[in-house]
Structure 1
Amino acid sequence: MRFATFLLMLVALSAAAFAQRRVMPIDDLPPAVVEHHETRWDVRPSLKYDALCALNVLSGDPYYLKFYQADYDRLAPKFTPAEKAEFVALKRIIKDQNKGIISADLALILSVEPGDSLDDMLVALDKPNDIRERLKQTPYYSAPNFTEFMQVRPHAIAAIRALKRVGFDEDWSQHIRPQIMAKAPQIEKQLVQYNIVPLQEQVLGHALPDNRIEVDLLYYSQPHGIKITGTRFLTHFEYPFDIVLHNAVHEMMHPPYDLKSPATVQAIESLRHDAFLMDKVKHHDPSYGYNEFEGFVEEDCVQALEQTITQSMGMKEDEREYWRIQDGGMHVLAIALYELMQRERFMELRESFPHFLRRMVASGKLTNERLVQLNREFYAGR
């Protein structure tokens, strides 16, 4: 997500360094160390994150009404005009002005705080300094993005108070939670067959903070899968299992590289010169997210890793059709990286992804012309 990429802004590198693509030295990395050898799964519902996802819907955003028109029609009449204005304000600031996603942005920040009730969120929001200090202990903090959070904080407080006033939590407990609880055991039974953490650690080149993956099953989260702090992610309880598994593989790998590494930042920044890629960065539906260059590149890197790992686990699917329709076909860098991973025997050689990315850029295998060619060959099946 957008918050997972902003640390690039903290690296003080001159613009001149990126004026043209140039081959940079590639350091020899030690073999990836796999610290965890098993994956533990924790599948659960969450009122907290479902409420934050419902804010997308209650803003009246047509993008979400495609999925939740009936729920909007049921819930919206309960709110006063002033309360509805708070939902709209969240959309205006987070999505319209800052190109973010209400649910993803707020869920990521508030995931540093304990508790799962509306009251727990209100208590947390009343202590923004505590949130900031906890967020600083994660890879997802930056001063500009926390400034945005402080701007929306009064609207978030008002919105959650509105949810509490109309009994959203009771409605959720009565109508939503039972549906999720009925589905959770089936999903967990399928997930335990997959040991993904060692593979994730192998490709990332470092250990994950835990081998327990928390899967928060939600109702109001469509069409997103959302990474929050720790080894946790949010997904829809009725997604087909293969999507849930893909979400689990995908979300744990944000961010897929160390953004404090100047060599990695230089490799990423060199991609700004690729016209084919930048056309997709600048001209895609902003509702999909990834509206900043850094966030777009990070998402495509993780998508390529996701597809490579799931394929290595024996999952068979039509990846060409998937990327043709995924987010309007915008993930051209993911396709190029995936093609290169297959050709370079990425999983077999156990190369860490940061090293692989730098090597592909330095060798010229990821230039603009090659991006176009790799995409063409991918769809041609070669």
Structure 2
Amino acid sequence: MDALCFLNPLSGESFYARYYAEELARFTPRFPSDAVPLIKQLMASSKAQHRMMGPFLCLVFSAGPTGTLADLRGALTNAETRLLPGFRASPYWEPEAWDWFLTARPELARVLEALAASDFPTFRREVLGDLVEQRAAELRQRLAGVDVIAEQERLLGHRLEEDITIDLLHFSKPHGIKVIGQRFLTHRTYSDALIIRNAAHEILHPPFDATHPSILAALEVLRRDPLLPRIVADHDPAFGYTTLEGLFDEDTAEALEQLITERLGVAVPARERWRKADDGMHVLAAGLYGLLKADGFERTGGVIQEWLGKAAHEGRLGSASLHASAAGVLGLPSEQLWVPPAPK
């Protein structure tokens, strides 16, 4: 998984490379130069599909074995048998996404071959030593008494598996990445509180059945909002969430996560969080959170999918109600909930 995430900074994009200047300076001289244009090509084509390359590749490959670089190469070669069944059975299945993956397979195979030729596994061990093992031991002790799953079940309204798997990575900044199953990827240096927040957030995805009539009805209301489609169109696409459906999924999870982490005592204050995160684009999350708090949803629990359908039916997801809720959470006038980023 670290190998897949390292493709982002290897592409040269400043959004990722800024976190790994030292590692890139050490690794790039040993990396075949003809592989870099292939990574750039993969990055561009994934963006055209409104997908973040590294996180998406981690998602697909999580349908198969991911312990070694050799595992990845074997799974890619035999993707139809090793990856397709698990990916198709997951909530993330999209035929278009799989088609892109197969189209990108030749270039991706050459990139993984280049990582093997430059001995990325040894390079990673040189960079990390035993830091991951040390951090894992610390986290096991800290997380032993934290029951994130129970809180999530209360708000989702359905049972989850008992365990969460956390992969500690080095090259994953700035993302937390949910993959197939109750598994997510996070950076090894993130604080205990942040990793608990990651766990509280990532396992919520997807927070609802995107094909359910109540969710489709809610989406129709949100599409008529004068602000939300503009945020989707005009925000920095490096943050992801380039469709309204994707933003709705993410911001519902963020609103629920905020309720959970407040109960667990590890929350960032809602106003501070959403005024800063991703250039302030998560207005929908703030609005949903405010409405959920007004209903005491964090105390009563419930089925979030049913709550969203009811809120849409009652007009509470309409712009007047939603914007007023977001304004109260963010401490901003309703007409100033989001400012588009300055052109670069």
Same fold (TM over 0.5): yes
Are residue 204 (structure 1) and residue 156 (structure 2) matched? Answer: yes
1:193 aligns with 145
Task: Say which of 280, 290, 294 aligns to 1:343.
Answer: 294
Q: How does 1:1-382 map to 2 (within 5 A)?
A: 49-95=1-47, 97-130=48-81, 131-208=83-160, 210-380=161-331
The normalised TM-score by structure 2 is: 0.93
> What is the alpha-carbon distance in structure 2 between the residues aligned to residue 317 and residue 302 of structure 1?
15
The normalised TM-score by structure 1 is: 0.84
Q: State how many pairs are aligned.
A: 332
- Asked if structure 2 preserves the Cα contact closer than 8 Å seen for 1:276 and 1:372, the reply is no
Question: Segments of 4+ in structure 1 off by > 6 A?
Answer: none
- Asked if structure 1 preserves the Cα contact closer than 8 Å seen for 2:221 and 2:318, the reply is no
Q: Which amino acid in structure 2 is aligned with residue 301 of structure 1?
A: T
Q: Which amino acid in structure 2 is aligned with residue 93 of structure 1?
A: S
Q: What is the DSSP-based 3-state SS (H/G/I as helix, E as strand, rest coil) of the residue aligned with 1:67?
A: coil
Q: Which amino acid in structure 1 is aligned with residue 274 of structure 2?
A: W
- Asked if structure 1 preserves the Cα contact closer than 8 Å seen for 2:197 and 2:267, the reply is no
Could you report, residue by residue, the CA deviation over 1:221-279 in whole angstroms, capped at 9, with x for unpaired residues? Answer: 00000000001000000012221111101000111111231232222232111012122
- Asked if structure 1 preserves the Cα contact closer than 8 Å seen for 2:32 and 2:118, the reply is no
Could you report, residue by residue, the CA deviation over 1:24-81 in whole angstroms, capped at 9, with x for unpaired residues? Answer: xxxxxxxxxxxxxxxxxxxxxxxxx111100001111111111112211221122233
> What is the alpha-carbon distance in structure 2 between the residues aligned to residue 204 and residue 354 of structure 1?
7
- Asked if structure 2 preserves the Cα contact closer than 8 Å seen for 1:231 and 1:252, the reply is yes
Q: What is the DSSP-based 3-state SS (H/G/I as helix, E as strand, rest coil) of the residue aligned with 2:288?
A: helix
Q: Which runs of 5+ in 2 are unaligned?
A: 333-344
Q: Which amino acid in structure 2 is aligned with residue 196 of structure 1?
A: V
- In structure 2, do the counterparts of structure 1 residues 279 and 321 end up closer, same or farther at CA, with 3 Å as the change threshold? same
Higher relative contact order (CA 8 A, sep 6+): 1
Could you report, residue by residue, the CA deviation over 1:186-224 in whole angstroms, capped at 9, with x for unpaired residues? Answer: 12211222101111122112112x211111000000000
- Asked if structure 1 preserves the Cα contact closer than 8 Å seen for 2:2 and 2:172, the reply is yes
- Asked if structure 1 preserves the Cα contact closer than 8 Å seen for 2:46 and 2:53, the reply is yes
- Asked if structure 1 preserves the Cα contact closer than 8 Å seen for 2:228 and 2:244, the reply is no
- In structure 2, do the counterparts of structure 1 residues 367 and 237 end up closer, same or farther at CA, with 3 Å as the change threshold? same
Could you tell me the percent identity over the aligned residues? 33
Q: Which runs of 5+ in 1 are unaligned?
A: 1-48
> What is the alpha-carbon distance in structure 2 between the residues aligned to residue 360 and residue 156 of structure 1?
44
Could you report, residue by residue, the CA deviation over 1:311-345 in whole angstroms, capped at 9, with x for unpaired residues? Answer: 12233532211111101100001001101111101
> What is the alpha-carbon distance in structure 2 between the residues aligned to residue 105 and residue 276 of structure 1?
27
- Asked if structure 2 preserves the Cα contact closer than 8 Å seen for 1:246 and 1:310, the reply is yes
2:335 aligns with none
> What is the alpha-carbon distance in structure 1 between the residues aligned to residue 138 and residue 51 of structure 2?
33
- In structure 2, do the counterparts of structure 1 residues 62 and 139 end up closer, same or farther at CA, with 3 Å as the change threshold? same
> What is the alpha-carbon distance in structure 1 between the residues aligned to residue 57 and residue 129 of structure 2?
21
